[in-house]
Amino acid sequence: MSLLPYLDIGLALLVVVVAVWTIAARDLFTSVVGYVAYGLLLAFVWIRLYAPDVALTEAAVGGGVTGVLLITAGKRLGARKNVAPEAQPGLAFRLLTGVLAALVAGALGAVILMLPDPPPSLAPEAAAAADGAGAGLGNPITAVLMSYRSFDTMLEKMVLILAVVGVWSVGTDKAWGGAPAPFRRPKPYAPMVFLAQMLAPVGVLIGIHIFWTGANAPGGAFQGGALLAAMWMVTMMARLAEPPRIDTQRLRLALVAGPAVFLIIGLAGKVVAGSFFAYPPALAKPIILFIEAFMLLSIAAALPMLVAGPPSERADQ
């Protein structure tokens, strides 16, 4: 007899309640705050599902960086006040949507309970392959991301580059090449500066640690990169650093480093290991860490640029 099932049910209820609050809140900003709290709660759910890697990612990206993005956006939209309260949809439409959503949720819930038993799984294959192509990676998720499904991972890095291009393209022609607007308009504020000065070195250390242990323990380039990104953002919020101009080659190189190195090593695999995106078994682990180091850099550069938004004409003033 343990307390754990009750805690699980409590957590589940809490997640659902906060989610309902996010959807039902009247005010835009309240709903954004609700979503950020929701993201953090979700990290606990992932821990309960024995998914520490996902929990780390959810806490850092889903809760943390997305939270900064949405809060900033909510604040700016709130300040502009031009979001006219539109005519709320009529009751009939609301009811219809509610019924549709309930049907989808109900069908999905029923189907989840019907998933086959015993469940199919690739865990045995992954365990068997971990001796060969997975090559000495203690963390099976890193092995999946960097070896078996490395192609997805490389494409996902391309998605980040395209998102950066897309976000930048939303700016004006005149501002092109300049820097995004600073994270906080007012002058630096002492507690924020203090926080950045204390937190950033520790955070960078932890970020690199998470990346390095990712080969064998929960963590990896994603989670480490997200932490580094957060530290850069804190530093920029304290105005200890300003967002870089988007036409600087150093920034561009940092953004493409991950996918570029991945692509080159993937091509080289054809010559060295007989197949595109294959690694020579003896060298697999160092090569994977090498690629991940560049991906760490790319993620740490891409996430803050995505939050910072398009280049701004006022940035230089």
Partner 1 sequence: MITLLDLFSIAAISAGAFFFFAGTVGLLRFPDALTRMHALAKADNVGLGLVALGLIPRAESALSALKLIVIWALVLLSAASTTQLIGRALRRGRK
Partner 2 sequence: MTAELGTATPGGYLLVLAILLPLAGIILSFTPGGRNAERAALCSTPFGFALACAIAFHVGQGGKPIVYAIGGLPPPLGIALRADGISAVMLIAAAAIVTAAAFYARTKFATPDGIRESRSALTFWILLQAIWAALIIIFVGGDLFNLYVALEILTFAAVPLVCIDGRAETLAAALRYLLFALFGSISYLLGVALFYGAHGTLDISLLAQRVQATPVVWTAAALMTAGLLAKTALFPVHLWLPPAHANAPAAASAVLSGLVVKGSFFLTLRLWFYVLPALPTDKIAAVLGWLGSAAVIMGSIVALRQARLKLLIAYSTVAQIGYLFLVFPLAAGAHAWSAIGWSAGLMQVLAHAFAKAAMFFSAGLLAEALGHDQIARLGGAARALPLTFLSIALGGLSLIGLPPSGGFSAKWLMLQASIASGQWLWSLPILAGSLLAAGYVYRILAPALSDGEVSLELRPKRSHEMIALALTAIAIALGFAPQTFFDFLEIGHPVAAGPP
Partner 3 sequence: MTPSVLAGLVGATLVGLGLYGLILHPHPLRKLLAFNLMGSGVFLVFGIVARRGAAAGFRFDPVPQAMVITGIVVAFAASALAVALILRLSEESSRVTLDPEAWTKPDSGDAK
Which of 7, 128, 151, 189 binds partner 1 (CB under 8 A)? It is 189
Query: From the list partner 2, partner 3, partner 1, none, which binds 2 (C-beta under 5 to 8 Å, kind-based)?
Result: none
Torsion of CA 133, 273, 148, 206, to 10 degrees: 80
Residues 273-312 that bind partner 3 (CB under 8 A): 299, 303, 306-307, 309-310
Q: Is 97 in the site for partner 3 (CB under 8 A)?
A: yes
Q: Is 82 in the site for partner 3 (CB under 8 A)?
A: yes
Number of residues that bind partner 3 (CB under 8 A): 94
Structure token pair of residue 266: 């993937």
Which of 1, 92, 113, 271 binds partner 3 (CB under 8 A)? It is 113
CA–CA distance, 3 with 40 (Å, rounded to integer): 22
Strand partners, 180: 311
Which of 92, 119, 174, 274 binds partner 3 (CB under 8 A)? It is 119
Other C-beta atoms closer than 10 Å to the C-beta of 184 total: 14
Site string for partner 3, 238-277 (x = CB under 8 A): ----------------------------------------
Shortest CB 203 distance to partner 1, Å: 9
Q: Which of 178, 197, 180, 199 is nearest to 240 (CA)?
A: 197
CA–CA distance, 166 with 172 (Å, rounded to integer): 12
Query: From the list partner 2, partner 3, partner 1, none, which binds 276 (C-beta under 5 to 8 Å, kind-based)?
Result: partner 2
Q: Is 156 in the site for partner 3 (CB under 8 A)?
A: yes
Structure token pair of residue 227: 């932490």
Residues 126-155 that bind partner 3 (CB under 8 A): 126-128, 140-141, 143-145, 148-149, 152-153
Q: Is 191 in the site for partner 1 (CB under 8 A)?
A: yes
Shortest CB 256 distance to partner 2, Å: 5
Query: From the list partner 3, partner 1, partner 2, none, which binds 21 (C-beta under 5 to 8 Å, kind-based)?
Result: none
Shortest CB 226 distance to partner 2, Å: 19
CA–CA distance, 42 with 66 (Å, rounded to integer): 13
Would you say 150 and 133 are in contact if contact means Cβ atoms under 8 Å apart? no
State the distance between the two ends of the chain, measured CA to CA, in whole angstroms. Answer: 64
Q: Is 171 in the site for partner 2 (CB under 8 A)?
A: yes
In sequence order, the 6+-apart residues with CB closer than 8 A to the CB of 313 are 172, 174, 175, 178
| H helix or E strand, kind and range, residue 77 | helix 66-80
